[in-house]
A and B are shown apart, each in its own frame.
Chain A
Amino acid sequence: DADVTQTPRNRITKTGKRIMLECSQTKGHDRMYWYRQDPGLGLQLIYYSFDVKDINKGEISDGYSVSRQAQAKFSLSLESAIPNQTALYFCATSGRTAGTDTQYFGPGTRLTVL
Chain B
Amino acid sequence: SQQGEEDPQALSIQEGENATMNCSYKTSINNLQWYRQNSGRGLVHLILIRSNEREKHSGRLRVTLDTSKKSSSLLITASRAADTASYFCATDAGGGSYIPTFGRGTSLIVHP
Contact = CB atoms under 8 A, between A and B. Distances in A.
Q: What is the predominant secondary structure among interface residues of chain A facing chain B?
A: strand
B30 A40 contact: no
B98 A96 contact: yes
Interface residues of B, number: 25
A41 interface: yes
A14 to B, nearest CB: 23
Contacts of A4: 42
A90 to B, nearest CB: 6
Interface stretch (A62-70, A72-80, A97-105): A97-105
Given A42-B103, A99-B98, A107 B41 contact: yes
Nearest to B45: A102
Interface in B59-103: 88, 90, 92, 98-103
Contacts of A100: 30-31, 48, 50, 92, 98
A92 B98 CA distance: 14
Interface residues of A, number: 24
Candidate in B1, B31, B43 with the most chain A CB atoms within 10 angstroms: B43
B30 A108 contact: no
A43 B33 CA distance: 14
16 contacts: A41-B104, A42-B2, A42-B88, A43-B43, A43-B102, A90-B42, A92-B43, A100-B30, A100-B31, A102-B33, A102-B45, A103-B35, A106-B42, A107-B41, A107-B42, A108-B40
Interface of B: 1-2, 30-31, 33, 35, 40-45, 48, 50, 88, 90, 92, 98-105
Q: Which 5 A-B pairs have the closest CB atoms?
A: A105-B42, A42-B104, A43-B102, A101-B98, A105-B43
